[in-house]
Amino acid sequence: MKLTRLASAFALSAAVCASVFAADTVKIGVQAPITGKYANEGQGIDNFVRLIVDEKNKEGGLLGKKIEVVTCDDEAKAQKAAVCAKKLSNAGVFAVIGSYTSGATEAAQTTYYRNKILQTSDGTSDSLIKRKYWTFFRNSFPNSAQGEFTADYFVNQKKYERIVVLSDYSSYSDGLADSVEDSIKKLGGNVAFRGKIKSGTQNFTAILTKVKALNPDVIYYSGYYTDGGLLRVQQQQLGINADFVGGDSNDNPDFLKLAGKTAAGVYLVNVPTPDILPYEAAKKYLTAYEDRFNMKPPSIWAVVNADGLRAVMEGVEKTNSFDTKKISDYIRNDMKDFPGITGPFNIREDGERVGASLMVYQIQEDGSYKVSFNK
Amino acid sequence: MDIFLQQLINGLTIGSLYALVALGYTMVYGVMKLINFAHGDLVAFSAYVGLTIFTQFFGASAVSFVDVIIIFLFTSIIVAFVGVLLERLAYRPLRTAPRLSAVVSALGAALVIQNGIMLIWGPNMQIFPADLLPSTIWNISGVIITFTQVCILALSAVLMIALYFFINKTKIGTAIRATAIDQDAAKLMGINVNRIIMIIFVVGSMLGAIGGLFIGLYYRSLTFDMGWVYGLSAFIAAIIGGIGSIPGAMIGGLLLGLFNALIAGYISTEWAETLTFVLLIIILIVRPTGILGEKTAEKV
């Protein structure tokens, strides 16, 4: 009799324990464009986050708690991003990975800040860290770093004399183009024309014909691959004999598909592509990604976001708490050279990722990349 | 000079595409006094259908001229069928209802088609293969014109002339014009109004389908929401030309394309769209019924 009572007490306590354990989860949010124009980038981010979270859960979770991923599709639109921010905050996440575009990231920033939720994004727009929110840190490198690098390449390496700088109207693209233009001027270079195209309108012949009359050495485009690929095709059709250099958001397999044969010879400026990342962690995670999803990550952006997530998890474990303020302080002040997939991961006081390493690739006839300049 | 001619060709190419799509709006409005907002999405749908036929049945590799005609033919037949279905399901039941109900129905149909495209083909950008038409480029003393552009310009000119004769010189064309003037009187004269409306949707959708295929062939990137961009421009072209007038839609489309190219080329690329529409608003202030629109006395 006594024995059965003891046994049932055990069973009961075990059951209680199990249920407590099951309820004992923490939530991490993903805010990314799962549908829409940049869907393949958003899905890449979501995939990579789930890969890393599942791995962590297999190891026993974060401080003994299972991690649950909550994804919200912002379609790369500011209005949807604001809705996502509310949704994820209500879902009780303690950190959010994303979004892909600077515009959608910026639209959600304040909500996360008010709710004390950590946010990390690959958005490169300089404006992202202007508000100095302690909740936000960037996992890619800012436009200004890329602008200086690109300008140096144009003026000192390639010695281009007539440079055309094009962007779309997004805060990211416009900011990057401004940064390139300013840096070129600082180095004494000549920007022959600075123009803007409306993303998604498909027909860019009018502006390109105008550019043709200037007889440029190079056309630089700071926008996204969906428009960059078409610009390249139409440039070639109009017979403009200029180099084409794309900013980091042109680095996507769909750029090659859109540009087709005309992709050969195009230069892209970006941080090192996933498959040539020289770091220890890179090999491990990129193989794991390919094994699970049967494809490579769509671009470097999914990978830098994965690094953002890994930095957050590192912060949780080192501070032994889910207090977002403590984690943020750790990431900003105490984390030094965290071994990221995309290289040493260091965050400055204002949330900026520092220590950029950038490269210029040239697309070859067979669609592969060849490094033509790095620094 | 060659830059000016180049801008002219750029403008005419995009203008002909607008005109082809605008014809669908203007024909439906002419007969039914209804703005068929779903027309733009039907155009996007046709680009996707063409892409599917090309990749599924022709293996997405370079094909002969006959195959291209087959793709165009099958796509237009499928899209015409969907156009007729649209009329039967979304517009015919509301034909006697207040006009606003039909407009709401049209907007709803547009969303149904757009989201249908997203569900069938997925939200990602689809890319039309490059080698469906020869990539020949002619360089006439500095002015570049591609084979695809010549096709677009030639075929849309032929189609518009054919349509003009169809409407003005044939028996069915006369019946269409009669229905446009007064549906009840047309009925009394023994015209089957339902059939005429069906014909309007078949012809309008086919022209839109050809426009959509050309958009796919020329620009090569397809997104499920692209119909809105082209639909809106074509709708504006139809209004500028005088909605309900067939030559008006052609002229409106060409003007819209030309204005945009010339303003972008000579004034400002950033202000091109704004200035284009300011110019078009001025046209409408001077001629409220559009360039070729007829002044009709309101029936009391």
The string of pLDDT tens digits covering residues A326-347 is 999 999 999 988 988 888 889 9
Residue B144 pLDDT greater than 70, yes or no: yes
- Partners of residue A212 in chain B, C-beta under 8 Å: 3, 6
A319: left (phi over 0), alpha (psi -120 to 50) or beta: alpha
CATH number, domain containing residue A153: 3.40.50.2300
Q: At what angle do helices B246-266 and B226-241 cross, to 10 degrees?
A: 110
Is residue A174 in some structural domain?
yes
Mean confidence (pLDDT) of chain B:
89
**CA–CA dist A172, A164 (Å, integer):** 18
Tens digits of residue pLDDT in A105-133: 999 999 999 999 999 999 888 888 888 89
Q: In Å, how far is A100's CA from the nearest CA of chain B?
A: 15
Structure-block tokens of residue B276? 């284009």
| Same domain assignment for residues A118 and A239 | no
| Same domain assignment for residues A131 and A153 | no
**CA–CA dist B214, B72 (Å, integer):** 10
| Same domain assignment for residues A15 and A134 | yes
Residue A15 pLDDT greater than 80, yes or no: no
Is residue B292 in some structural domain?
no
**CA–CA dist A153, A217 (Å, integer):** 13
| Same domain assignment for residues A223 and A336 | no
**CA–CA dist B123, B121 (Å, integer):** 7
Chain B residues contacting A, CB < 8 Å? 3, 6-7, 10-11, 13-14, 118, 123-125, 127, 130, 137, 139, 144, 146, 215, 219-221, 223, 226, 229, 260-261, 264-265, 269-270, 272-273
Residue B104 burial (10 A CB sphere; 0-12, 13-18, 19+)? middle
Residue A318 belongs to domain spanning:
8-141+277-354
Residue A267 burial (10 A CB sphere; 0-12, 13-18, 19+)? buried
| Same domain assignment for residues A264 and A336 | no
- Partners of residue A40 in chain B, C-beta under 8 Å: 124
Is residue B223 in some structural domain?
yes
Residue B180 pLDDT greater than 70, yes or no: yes
Cβ distance B219 to A203 less than 8 Å, yes or no, reads yes
Q: In Å, how far is A24's CA from the nearest CA of chain B?
A: 36
**CA–CA dist B224, A307 (Å, integer):** 32
CB A191 within 8 A of CB A121: no
| Same domain assignment for residues A247 and A333 | no
Structure-block tokens of residue A310? 């890994």
The arithmetic mean of pLDDT across residues B183-203, rounded, is: 93
**CA–CA dist A85, A107 (Å, integer):** 8
Is residue B299 in some structural domain?
no
Return the HEC string of B147-177. HHHHHHHHHHHHHHHHHHHHHHHCHHHHHHH
Closest Cβ opposite residue A230 in set B14, B221, B270: B221
10 Å Cβ neighbour count for B74?
15
Confidence band, pLDDT 50/70/90 cuts, at residue B137 = confident
| Same domain assignment for residues A201 and A266 | yes
**CA–CA dist A87, A102 (Å, integer):** 19
CB pairs A-B closer than 8 Å: 81
Residue A22 pLDDT greater than 60, yes or no: no
**CA–CA dist B194, A6 (Å, integer):** 84
User: Which pLDDT score is estimated for B62?
Assistant: 60
Cα-trace Rg, chain A: 23
Q: Which residue has the higher pLDDT, A337 or A21?
A: A337
**CA–CA dist B146, B280 (Å, integer):** 29
Residue percentage of chain A with pLDDT more than 70? 94
Is residue B291 in some structural domain?
no
Is residue A362 in some structural domain?
no
Cα-trace Rg, chain B: 19
The arithmetic mean of pLDDT across residues A78-96, rounded, is: 94
| Same domain assignment for residues A289 and A247 | no
Is residue A1 in some structural domain?
no
Residue A13 burial (10 A CB sphere; 0-12, 13-18, 19+)? exposed
ipTM of the complex: 0.83
| Overall number of domains in chain B | 1
Q: Which residue has the higher pLDDT, A11 or B252?
A: B252
| Same domain assignment for residues A103 and A85 | yes
Tens digits of residue pLDDT in A348-371: 888 999 877 788 999 999 888 888
Is residue B212 in some structural domain?
yes
| Same domain assignment for residues A17 and A136 | yes
Structure-block tokens of residue A4? 């059965």
Q: Of the residues A215, A246, A270, which one is the last residue of a structural domain?
A: A270
Is residue B62 in some structural domain?
yes
Structure-block tokens of residue B2? 């060659």
CATH number, domain containing residue B267: 1.10.3470
Residue B27 belongs to domain spanning:
2-286
**CA–CA dist A213, A226 (Å, integer):** 25
**CA–CA dist A142, A175 (Å, integer):** 10
Residue A11 pLDDT greater than 60, yes or no: no
Beta strands, E only, B70-212: 126-127, 137-140, 143-146
**CA–CA dist A113, A134 (Å, integer):** 7
| Overall number of domains in chain A | 2
Is residue A57 in some structural domain?
yes
Question: Kind of pairing, strands A163-167 and A136-138?
Answer: unpaired
Taking alpha carbons only, the member of A32, A93, A115 closest to residue A298 is A32
3-state secondary structure of A271: coil
CB B289 within 8 A of CB B281: no
